[in-house]
Structure 1
Amino acid sequence: MSLETETKASAGSGWTETAKIIVQALAIAMIVRVFFYQPFNIPSGSMKSTLLIGDYLFVSKLSYGYSRFSFPFSPNVFSGRIFAAEPKRGEVVVFRLPQDQSLDYIKRVVGLPGDKIQMKHGVLNINNVPVPKVYKDEFSNVECDPYYRHCRRVNYKRFVETLPDGGPTYTVLDLEPDGEFDNTDVYEVPPGHYFMMGDNRDNSSDSRATVGYVPFENLIGRAEIIFFSAAIDEPDGMRWYSPWTWPFDIRWTRFFNLVR
């Protein structure tokens, strides 16, 4: 075999090995995405200030087991859940919207099956017991319309809520005292369903309004960690057309923050 032939054979072998590595890496990534962790991005402000528009996070599918909504295209091959584990009160959950099963929503679980949930003057009540809500500070945010044609600075009051029975502590925003969703009827959560609310209490489409009670089957997974964040909702946020500005448009301090 000539030197030229040996060189061509070596190059062909190198490309084959590279192709194998790429295929194996893609296969592993697909397995992780389908069965373990799925990336999601935050497109709206309903979970501010816990989650911001432009946050990218991993959602654990193992947390609650698997339903048909856990898999791409939601194949209707079985009902219920496999390896089921119920969510805990206070966890931030991605779920499929009951009214439109093509849409993914992310909210906080505040009501478990059998709970009675009510808002009274902006205070969450669970089973007739007010959830402690303590003023923390002001949260200021520049908010723009989808096409950035108009922006304005919005100032919220930020409070700390602590759920009962050793539940988590987290922050919620209140824009308007005694707003539309600050006083509600009593919601009694039916068996096999959950009551979801956004942390941005005056600007969240959740179980108080159009979302309603969320079936256990519709849960996709628990939000775990933010792995990337870009200020896409701000006037000069994440200028994709100018790569030299990206280091200033990325929210570096949000990387690897756990979702609480």
Structure 2
Amino acid sequence: MSEDQKPHDADAAQTNATDATPEEVFAASEADAPVEAVKDPAAGKRPVWSDKGDAPFEDEPTTPVYARKSAKKAKGEQSAGDETVEIVKTIFFALLIAMVLRIFLFQPFTIPSASMEPNLYEGDYIVVSKWSYGYSKHSIPFSPPLFDGRIMGSAPKRGDIVVFKLPRDDKTDFIKRVIGLPGDRIQMIANKLYINDKPVQDVVVSQGEIDDIFGAHPIAEVRETLPEGKSFMTQDFGPGNDLDDTPVYEVPVGHYFMMGDNRDNSIDSRVEQSSGVGMVPAENLVGKAQIILFSWKPGSSLWNPVSWFNVRLDRFFNVLH
């Protein structure tokens, strides 16, 4: 090769190198570089995985299959046990809240008889306020003998409709109207109510007749107005009945005289305590009847779904007077 040809070949080589792309230059340099063995410490032990999401979990389970099943079963049992504990806790707190409400605020009752007609009918479902007269042992379910008397007590007013524990057993719930206050003199004369020797004002609103197993009887609805001005309806089956004439009842201190609004069909304070109600101690008051929530007709039952529609819609949410 002549000297004139060498520069020409160099220029050609330089020109070719200049025209090559970066990738081609990089590939050529890699081809010229010597190949060295790369020692991988993990070589021969486990494959090298990419970080693109196709690798298995780093720590693979080493527990035998039968042991895994037992562990799953134990975990399931623990989960079921935790759920049972939560259910028990929920029921406990629900009962606790209901108990607090029942003791301190409200208590529901169902009227079982006709002794308070025409204001309360058998099957009426009422709510009684517990705070109205304070609290006694009878404010608590089963009347435990925790204390005597009343806490935060206040006296009922004449004419209030009151739920109380029957004095002769301190267990049975009765509902009547307060007629006599401590120190009062109460008497029935010729089917007319006297308070402190003065007749109570009454006006006959309607009259009619009813039939029962004993035959036809007259019936009247009478509006009574107590000395303090409270007015309400009563029901009367005419003169000549057992409780239309009574002796004078003097109400002791700390006691109340109760009567049913259905005057001839009510076991109340006009009947001696041994067989009736007698005088009611203040301690036996449970609460004041406030409202009729709803009303079922006789024969209806919570346990008989067919009878749930046998209701008196006109009595729903009636405030008691």
Identify the TM-score tier after normalising by the shorter chain: 0.7 to 0.9
Q: Residue 161 of structure 1: which of 224, 230, 235 is its match?
A: 224
- Residue type of the partner of 1:126? I
Q: How does 1:209-228 map to 2 (within 5 A)?
A: 209-210=271-272, 211-228=277-294
Report how far residue 207 of structure 1 moved.
0.7
Which residue is 1:192 aligned to?
254
Which residue is 2:200 aligned to?
131
Which residue is 2:56 aligned to?
none
CA-to-aligned-CA distance 1:169-222 (integer Å, 9 cap, x gap): 111111131311111111111111110000111111111113111111111111
Q: How many residues of Structure 1 are paired with residues of Structure 2 in the alignment? A: 242
| Preserved CA contact (<8 Å) 2:191 2:238 | no
Report how far residue 256 of structure 1 moved.
1.0
* Cα distance in 2 for residues equivalent to 1:258 and 1:74: 28
| Paired-residue identity, % | 51
Which residue is 2:120 aligned to?
51
> 2:230 matched to 1:230?
no
Task: Calculate the aligned-residue CA RMSD, in Å.
Answer: 2.8
> 2:132 matched to 1:67?
no
> 2:172 matched to 1:94?
no
- Residue type of the partner of 1:91? D
- Residue type of the partner of 2:250? E
> 2:233 matched to 1:171?
yes
Larger-Rg structure:
2
Q: Which has the higher strand share?
A: 1
* Cα distance in 1 for residues equivalent to 2:131 and 2:203: 34
* Cα distance in 2 for residues equivalent to 1:151 and 1:56: 30
* Cα distance in 1 for residues equivalent to 2:313 and 2:147: 41
* Cα distance in 1 for residues equivalent to 2:201 and 2:136: 34
Q: 1:89 to 1:187 in 2, by over 3 A?
A: same
Listed as ranges, the gaps of 5+ residues in structure 2 are: 1-71
Range with bigger deviation, 171-180 or 80-89: 171-180
Which residue is 1:34 aligned to?
103
Q: 1:102 to 1:18 in 2, by over 3 A?
A: closer
**So what's the TM-score if we normalise by structure 1?**
0.82
* Cα distance in 2 for residues equivalent to 1:73 and 1:239: 24
* Cα distance in 2 for residues equivalent to 1:108 and 1:174: 15
- Residue type of the partner of 2:265? N
Which residue is 2:27 aligned to?
none
Q: Which has the higher helix share?
A: 2
* Cα distance in 1 for residues equivalent to 2:120 and 2:258: 15
- Residue type of the partner of 2:320? V
* Cα distance in 1 for residues equivalent to 2:211 and 2:296: 14
* Cα distance in 1 for residues equivalent to 2:208 and 2:116: 13
Which residue is 2:61 aligned to?
none
Range with bigger deviation, 153-162 or 49-58: 153-162
> 2:244 matched to 1:182?
yes
Q: How does 1:237-256 map to 2 (within 5 A)?
A: 237-238=299-300, 243-244=305-306, 246-247=308-309, 249-256=310-317
Report how far residue 19 of structure 1 moved.
6.9
Choose between structure 1 and 2 for higher RCO, CA contacts under 8 A separated by at least 6 residues. 1
* Cα distance in 2 for residues equivalent to 1:218 and 1:239: 29
| Preserved CA contact (<8 Å) 2:218 2:238 | no
CA-to-aligned-CA distance 1:33-81 (integer Å, 9 cap, x gap): 1211111111111111111111111111101001111111111111110
Report how far residue 240 of structure 1 moved.
6.8
**So what's the TM-score if we normalise by structure 2?**
0.67
